[in-house]
């Protein structure tokens, strides 16, 4: 067993407070996650730390391949890996990218200075980037970090990604027999960040498995009987057969999942296209309905105006109906046929009538001088007098029209507060 860490991990309440604080920030320092996914991100990290206390959520700067730097959440620590009856600790970093949880996180193996990455490895690149089927087939929102760690532990147990570097031993070898070498020690994968004590001393074991030395911190060591070589051979054959069968099943399931995913993607694309068409038609129908409602309101307003004008005309006809009965008696007073509403209107009527009368007189004088009925000098004197009189009438009409305009503006200004209220 590995000794307990010198610095205890943060309790769940501290982790909840930390996640609530960083996910609730606003402004330039806020994390680049969408508002509708922050609650799910918080639940994923809380569930992960409850199942794996060795993983600690924190914020750090992530640099993309294009040089962009962004502040993201990460889970930094170790995950257990059972291998050959021993449980080791694998140091990893799980980065929650900007599009998480709709897209998978980025996982890196984080070796310490005395560890090296196995080359080649089917799941880990030389830079430490991890790629397993669970990440490739990430499905939102069912996929989560706890299942991801379980799949990482299972994949690493089939083929460990890290080995410890051999270092020269400054102390002389106390073993008198040079043919017997001690079993490689299980060094701790926890760095000084996690405050773990140094690993236990090396122990000798008669194991003929021939595996390279392992760097992982040992959590639990099972006692092996003295007849281990014979049992390990039998277990290895059964384990190899079981491993091959599991790998075959995983490949078949992986192929079926890929086929089902492609079929569902095609169906989703069709549904998205139909949804876009329906939305466009909904917008067109809404726009047409709004235009029809606006047109209906305009027609109703015009109808109200027509009805008001009809009432005014009906009232005028009723008021002047008695005057039409006197037309047959030839005693209708033309001046009394129309009544002006105010003094300005009567003055405008008089000026306009005089202007038109003078226009008719000048026209008659033109005809008379053409026929020779009026001498030319008398024609000129009359036209001069009539023109002067017509000028005064037109000037008076212009002033009256300006006064009527001012009165109309004042009346509209007086009615404006009534319409506002």
Does residue 153 contact residue 81 with C-beta atoms inside 8 Å?
yes
Confidence at 417, pLDDT banded by 50, 70, 90: low
394 has pLDDT over 90: yes
Dihedral sign from CA coordinates of 393, 394, 398, 401: positive
236-251 pLDDT tens trace = 777 778 888 888 898 8
Contacts of residue 26, Cβ cutoff 8 Å, sequence gap at least 6: none
Q: Which of 150, 182, 160, 65 is nearest to 111 (CA)?
A: 160
284 has pLDDT over 70: yes
Report how far residue 297's alpha carbon sits from residue 182's, in angstroms, rounded to the nearest whole number. 96
> What integer pLDDT is reported at residue 356 of this predicted model?
94
Confidence at 195, pLDDT banded by 50, 70, 90: very low
Q: What is the DSSP-derived secondary structure letter of residue 374?
A: S
Report how far residue 281's alpha carbon sits from residue 278's, in angstroms, rounded to the nearest whole number. 5
Report how far residue 76's alpha carbon sits from residue 94's, in angstroms, rounded to the nearest whole number. 7
Does residue 90 contact residue 79 with C-beta atoms inside 8 Å?
yes
8 has pLDDT over 70: no
> What integer pLDDT is reported at residue 121 of this predicted model?
87
State residue 181 phi and psi, 5-degree precision.
-110, 145
Q: Residue length, the chain?
A: 421
Query: Average pLDDT in the 358-376 region?
Result: 91
What six digits make up the tokens of 32?
Answer: 């680049």
Does residue 146 contact residue 48 with C-beta atoms inside 8 Å?
yes
Coil/strand/helix, residue 116: strand
């Amino acid at each position: 067993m590995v000794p307990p860490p010198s610095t205890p991990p943060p309790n769940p309440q501290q982790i909840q407070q930390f996640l609530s604080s960083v996910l609730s920030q606003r402004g330039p320092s806020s994390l680049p996650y969408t508002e509708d996914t922050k609650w799910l991100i918080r639940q994923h990290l809380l569930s992960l730390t409850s199942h794996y206390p060795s993983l600690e959520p924190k914020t750090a700067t992530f640099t993309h391949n294009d040089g962009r730097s962004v502040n993201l959440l990460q889970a930094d620590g170790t995950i257990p890996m059972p291998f050959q009856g021993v449980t080791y600790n694998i140091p990893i970093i799980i980065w929650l990218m900007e599009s998480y949880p709709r897209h998978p996180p980025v996982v890196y193996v984080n070796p310490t200075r005395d560890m090296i990455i196995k080359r080649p490895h089917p799941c880990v690149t030389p830079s430490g980037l991890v790629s397993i089927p669970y990440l490739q087939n990430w499905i939102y929102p069912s996929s989560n970090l706890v299942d991801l760690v379980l799949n990482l532990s299972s994949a690493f147990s089939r083929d460990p990604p890290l080995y410890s570097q051999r270092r020269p031993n400054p102390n002389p070898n106390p073993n008198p027999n040079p043919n017997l070498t001690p079993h490689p020690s299980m060094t701790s994968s926890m760095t000084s960040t996690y405050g773990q004590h140094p690993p236990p001393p090396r122990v000798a074991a008669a194991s003929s498995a021939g595996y390279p030395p392992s760097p992982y911190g040992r959590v639990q060591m099972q006692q092996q009987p003295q007849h281990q070589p014979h049992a390990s051979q039998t277990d290895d054959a059964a384990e190899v057969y079981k491993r091959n069968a599991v790998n075959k099943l995983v490949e078949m399931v992986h192929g079926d999942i890929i086929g089902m995913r492609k079929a569902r993607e095609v169906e989703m694309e069709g549904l998205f296209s139909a949804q876009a068409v329906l939305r466009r038609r909904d917008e067109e129908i809404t726009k047409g309905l709004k235009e029809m409602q606006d047109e209906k309101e305009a027609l109703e307003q015009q109808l109200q105006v027509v009805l008001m004008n009809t009432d005014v005309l009906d009232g005028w006809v009723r008021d002047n109906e008695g005057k039409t009965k006197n037309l047959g008696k030839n005693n209708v007073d033309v001046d009394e046929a129309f009544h002006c509403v105010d003094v300005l209107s009567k003055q405008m009527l008089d000026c306009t009538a005089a202007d038109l009368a003078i226009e008719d007189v000048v026209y008659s004088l033109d005809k008379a001088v053409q026929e020779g009925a009026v001498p030319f000098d008398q024609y000129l004197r009359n036209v001069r007098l009539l023109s002067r009189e017509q000028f005064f009438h037109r000037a008076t009409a212009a002033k009256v029209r300006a006064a009527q305009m001012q009165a109309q503006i004042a009346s509209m200004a007086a009615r404006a507060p009534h319409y506002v209220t």
